[in-house]
């Protein structure tokens, strides 16, 4: 026996030498464990009754993971979830808007006037902080309270691994890991959570692919934007009976496009900077379990919806303050907001958006949730200042009234709406996700790629669509 | 969170037990960052219900989902039973201690270097053979192990009968059948974990006698080298086995000194992890 190693390097080289001497015998350790486990399991387990549920599971799997029906059923399920969310959220959203944006808002103004508060305190707190919070709540709460429980029910049921199974071949073709289907699905809830979930992918290359493309999963901060804009611009194109369905199809289209982009970008990266083959892995298909409906409702409403809403509110309050200040501090007679919007408008026009939208996306970097409130507040401020319609009252009880602001004051068209939906899918991740990406990759380079790639893609896409539409004289 | 030392003499005559009232004495303390007496790790294959067991004991509502890979971080919560406070650590699922992905590494590092007072291996009763592979690996390196034979209700529905008593004899550690989703068997689990933590119940894991002379000698030699290089490192023998197996991640951890970082921070207090070797 040799003397003991005194440095890590010595230890490693000694272990290396010993491994050479041992040959294959070292792997016996694990082999013996496997054999022992098999023997013991054989002794203590006995099959007594009928394995009825196995058969039920198999029958379900034959349909849900079938090469023919697997994909259509997946899209159909997403469509049903979206349709329930869109048609179900409309009415409570209207109630909340009446309550928060009409009653409470006016009451607050009356109250502040009653105590003779200075106009700027009243404006800062009521038209800035409160208004942003109220908007976020009425726009976000109802869809989330419907979407999250439905999603969690599918998760508890055991459907997610089947999604991975169905998409595995497509991911392999794109050079990505099959478990990326799971992280992508988690991204539909929250991209930061989706990025952390990539820890289940063991190959660093494939994990990077999953991290970079996670942003193409619409997160909870973006679903409400998609739903609202689709309701206003797409739902309005068809008779009211069909408007929920048309909106659903539009949002579904954007979500599916996101999945397509996930594959496309993974494939592109695999062929260029992240070359390599998809690695093999095994993923268990767990048994289907009847979801515990009441517990799911409770946890997804209390834990998930309210926590996410709280995050949105804490982001919206300071954003509302910033927007109000931007709109009310004048430089040479014109507000900062107007200066910025005027500066950004030509760039916005070039890519089929507008200055307000671009500024809103800068203000909303901390959270996607506040994009819509920011857009509405900026449109109102800038629009009013421009004297378009000084008498516009803030009454957003319904999507129609929101539409009248965007179209009437902001000058939006169907093209603006479509472009906003696409840009909402393809723009930088929120700051929380960006920080998470850095923590998980520890790489400034890949964090930058993951942040900028989607913005560039978004601007190119909306720009291309806009110029084609203009060339065809559609707008 | 801070660990409080427990004198073993004081364990006598505690826990006056009655059947089925363990849960009545359980105080779920949630994420409370107070002091604790014993650390309990929840290990197991993916999707065996570790997070469900965790929620049942701590009163926290960790997200659970019916798919392998749901938990990717280490989650800690406290519960009080009898007069002691237990820190329960929910770990990502792992098929073996030969971690390849980051979530598995988090689980492995805590089992190996976190020095849990009791390691509960949650096994899926419907897939016992494969789940036992991890149980055996954990038993190789830990003395105080409890097997939570979870999803026993599903096994019954599948017509499977599992003799917990015989399994316990074969493994040399207590086996508790549970159906954590509806709380079945949780009483027994709380009590067995407490008895083992306080030393009232002693297990003798049946380890494999696999080391043929040459391999055994090599493990011994490398283990001694590791122990002299890193005094107080828990589970030096496991590190030795991995080095002999040519595990690149462990080799890298030795080379960069990261091995010590793996030990630090497992229980919050860096000094604690490398203090005195006696458990």
pLDDT at position A51:
61
The Cα–Cα gap between A247 and A82 comes to: 9
pLDDT over 90 (residue A407): no
pLDDT at position A388:
45
pLDDT at position A147:
87
Could you list the beta-strand ranges (E) of A72-189: none
Residue B56 burial class via C-beta count within 10 angstroms: exposed 0-12, middle 13-18, buried 19 and up = buried
Cα nearest neighbour of B98 on chain A: A30
Q: Which residues contact B53 (CB under 8 A, 6 or more apart)?
A: B42, B120, B122, B148, B150, B178, B180, B186, B189
All structural domains of chain B: 2-197 (3.40.50.300), 213-268 (no CATH)
Q: Cβ contact (<8 Å) for B171 and A40?
A: yes
pLDDT at position A52:
58
Residue A312 is assigned to a structural domain of this protein? yes
User: Are A296 and A149 a contacting pair, CB within 8 Å?
Assistant: yes
Which residues does chain A have within 8 Å of residue B46's beta carbon, measured at their own beta carbons?
284
- Stretch 191-210 of chain B: residues touching chain A, C-beta under 8 Å: 208, 210
Cα nearest neighbour of A17 on chain B: B244
Q: Cβ contact (<8 Å) for A37 and B159?
A: no
What distance in Å separates residue B125's CA from the closest CA in chain A? 9
Q: Which residue has the higher pLDDT, A387 or A297?
A: A297
Residue A421 is assigned to a structural domain of this protein? yes
pLDDT over 70 (residue A3): no
Which residues does chain A have within 8 Å of residue B100's beta carbon, measured at their own beta carbons?
202
pLDDT at position A392:
40
Cα nearest neighbour of B210 on chain A: A29
User: Among positive and negative, which fits the CA dihedral A418, A420, A424, A425?
Assistant: positive
Which of A340-349, A466-475, B6-15 has the weakest average pLDDT?
A: B6-15
pLDDT at position A289:
87
The Cα–Cα gap between A307 and A315 comes to: 12
Distances (CA, A) of B187 to A198, A243, A364, A444: 35, 54, 49, 49
Cα nearest neighbour of B45 on chain A: A284
What distance in Å separates residue A31's CA from the closest CA in chain B? 10
Cα nearest neighbour of B251 on chain A: A12
What distance in Å separates residue B211's CA from the closest CA in chain A? 7
Residue A24 burial class via C-beta count within 10 angstroms: exposed 0-12, middle 13-18, buried 19 and up = exposed
pLDDT at position B7:
53
Which of A351-365, A387-401, A410-424, B77-91 has the weakest average pLDDT?
A: A387-401
Which residues does chain B have within 8 Å of residue A46's beta carbon, measured at their own beta carbons?
160-162
Which residues does chain B have within 8 Å of residue A194's beta carbon, measured at their own beta carbons?
none
Q: Choose among A244, A289, A293: nearest CA to A82.
A: A244
Residue A291 is assigned to a structural domain of this protein? yes
Residue A465 is assigned to a structural domain of this protein? yes
The band of B21, judged by pLDDT with boundaries at 50, 70 and 90, is: low
Q: Would an 8 Å CB–CB cutoff place B12 in contact with chain A?
A: no
User: Given A25, A158, A200, which is nearest B101 (Cβ)?
Assistant: A200
Query: What would the mean pLDDT of A97-124 be, rounded to a whole number?
Result: 92
Q: Would an 8 Å CB–CB cutoff place B251 in contact with chain A?
A: yes
Residue A46 is assigned to a structural domain of this protein? no
Which residues does chain A have within 8 Å of residue B171's beta carbon, measured at their own beta carbons?
40
- The two structure tokens encoding residue A55: 């058969």
Mean per-residue pLDDT of chain A:
88
Cα nearest neighbour of A1 on chain B: B221
Query: What would the mean pLDDT of A1-22 be, rounded to a whole number?
Result: 79
- What is the total count of domains within chain A? 1
| Mutation target vs B (from A42, A45, A298, A441; most B CBs, 10 A cutoff) | A45
The band of A30, judged by pLDDT with boundaries at 50, 70 and 90, is: confident
pLDDT at position A385:
62
pTM for the whole structure:
0.84
pLDDT at position A437:
96
Which residues does chain A have within 8 Å of residue B170's beta carbon, measured at their own beta carbons?
40, 43-44
- The predicted-structure confidence for A37-89, as pLDDT tens digits, reads as follows 999 999 999 987 666 556 788 899 999 999 999 999 999 999 999 999 888 88
Q: Cβ contact (<8 Å) for B130 and A8?
A: no
Q: Would an 8 Å CB–CB cutoff place B31 in contact with chain A?
A: no
Residue A17 is assigned to a structural domain of this protein? no
Residue A329 is assigned to a structural domain of this protein? yes
The residue range of the domain holding A392 is 64-471
Query: What would the mean pLDDT of B47-74 be, rounded to a whole number?
Result: 88
Q: What percent of chain A has pLDDT over 90?
A: 56
Q: Cβ contact (<8 Å) for B162 and A44?
A: yes
pLDDT over 60 (residue A394): no
DSSP string for residues in A350-403: HTT--HHHHHHHHHTTT-GGGHHHHHHHHHHHHHHHTTS-TT-----SSHHHHH
The Cα–Cα gap between B202 and B199 comes to: 6
Pairing status of strand A334-335 against strand B27-30:
unpaired
Residue A58 is assigned to a structural domain of this protein? no
pLDDT at position B5:
67
Can you tell me the ipTM of this complex? Answer: 0.82
């Amino acid at each position: 026996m040799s003397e003991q190693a005194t440095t890590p390097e010595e230890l490693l080289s000694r272990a290396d030498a010993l491994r050479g001497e041992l040959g294959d015998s070292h792997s016996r350790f694990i082999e013996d464990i496997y054999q022992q486990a098999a023997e013991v399991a054989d002794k203590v387990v006995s099959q007594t009754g009928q394995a009825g549920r196995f058969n039920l599971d198999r029958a379900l799997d034959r349909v849900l993971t079938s090469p023919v029906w697997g994909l259509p059923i997946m899209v159909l399920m997403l469509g049903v979830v979206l349709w329930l969310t869109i048609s179900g959220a409309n009415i409570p959203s209207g109630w909340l808007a009446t309550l928060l944006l009409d009653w409470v808002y006016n009451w607050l103004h009356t109250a502040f006037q009653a105590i003779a508060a200075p106009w700027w305190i009243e404006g800062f707190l009521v038209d800035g902080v409160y208004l942003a919070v109220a908007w976020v709540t009425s726009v976000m709460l109802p869809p989330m309270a419907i979407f999250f429980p439905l999603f969690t029910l599918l998760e508890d049921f055991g459907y997610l691994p089947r999604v991975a199974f169905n998409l595995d071949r497509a991911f392999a073709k794109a050079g990505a890991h099959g478990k990326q289907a799971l992280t992508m699905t988690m991204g539909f809830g929250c991209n930061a959570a989706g990025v952390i979930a990539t820890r289940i992918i063991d190959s660093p290359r494939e994990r990077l692919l999953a991290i970079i493309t996670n942003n193409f999963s619409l997160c909870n901060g973006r679903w409400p934007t998609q739903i609202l804009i689709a309701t206003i611009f797409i739902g309005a194109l068809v008779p009211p009976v069909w408007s929920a369905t048309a909106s659903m199809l539009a949002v579904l289209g954007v979500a599916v496009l996101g999945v397509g982009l996930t594959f496309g970008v993974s494939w592109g990266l695999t062929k260029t900077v992240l070359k390599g083959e998809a690695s093999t892995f095994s993923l268990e298909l767990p048994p289907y379990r009847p979801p515990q409906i009441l517990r799911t409702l409770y946890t997804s409403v209390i834990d998930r919806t309210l926590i996410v809403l709280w995050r949105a509110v804490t982001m919206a309050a300071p954003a509302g303050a910033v927007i109000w200040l931007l709109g009310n501090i004048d430089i040479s007679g014109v507000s900062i907001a107007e200066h910025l919007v005027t500066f950004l408008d030509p760039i916005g026009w070039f890519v089929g958006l507008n200055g307000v939208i671009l500024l809103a996306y800068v203000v909303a970097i901390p959270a996607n949730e506040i994009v819509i409130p920011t857009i509405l507040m900026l449109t109102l401020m800038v629009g009013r200042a421009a004297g378009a319609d000084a008498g516009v009252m803030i009454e957003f009880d319904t999507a129609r009234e929101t539409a009248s602001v965007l179209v009437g004051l902001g000058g939006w068209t169907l093209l603006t709406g479509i472009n906003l939906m696409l840009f909402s899918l393809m723009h930088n991740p929120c700051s929380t996700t960006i920080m998470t990406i850095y923590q998980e990759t520890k790489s400034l380079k890949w964090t930058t790629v993951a942040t900028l790639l989607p913005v560039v893609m978004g601007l190119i896409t909306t720009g291309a669509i806009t110029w084609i539409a203009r060339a065809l004289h559609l707008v | 969170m801070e660990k409080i030392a427990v004198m073993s003499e004081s364990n006598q005559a505690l826990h006056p037990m009655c059947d089925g009232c363990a849960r009545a004495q359980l105080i779920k303390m949630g994420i409370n960052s107070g002091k604790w007496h014993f650390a309990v790790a929840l290990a197991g294959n993916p999707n065996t219900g570790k997070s469900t067991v965790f929620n049942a004991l701590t009163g926290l509502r960790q997200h659970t989902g019916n798919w392998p890979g749901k938990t990717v971080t280490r989650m800690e919560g406290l519960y009080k039973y009898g007069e002691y406070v237990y820190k329960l650590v929910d770990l990502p699922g792992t098929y073996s201690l030969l971690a390849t992905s980051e979530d598995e590494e988090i689980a492995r590092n805590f089992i190996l270097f976190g020095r849990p007072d009791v390691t509960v291996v949650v096994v899926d009763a419907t897939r016992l053979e494969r789940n036992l592979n991890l149980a055996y690996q954990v038993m190789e390196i830990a003395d105080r192990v409890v097997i939570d034979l979870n999803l026993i209700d599903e096994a019954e529905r599948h017509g499977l009968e599992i003799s917990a008593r015989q399994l316990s004899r074969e493994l040399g550690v207590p086996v508790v059948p549970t159906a954590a989703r509806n709380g079945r068997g949780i009483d027994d689990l709380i009590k067995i974990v407490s008895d083992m933590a306080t030393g009232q119940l002693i297990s003798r894991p049946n380890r494999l006698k696999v080391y043929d002379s040459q391999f055994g000698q090599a493990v011994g030699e490398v283990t001694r080298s590791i122990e002299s290089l890193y005094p107080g490192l828990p589970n030096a023998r496991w590190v030795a086995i991995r080095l002999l197996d040519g595990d690149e991640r462990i080799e890298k951890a030795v080379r960069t000194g990261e091995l010590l970082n793996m030990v630090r921070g497992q229980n919050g207090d860096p000094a604690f992890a490398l203090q005195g070797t006696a458990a």
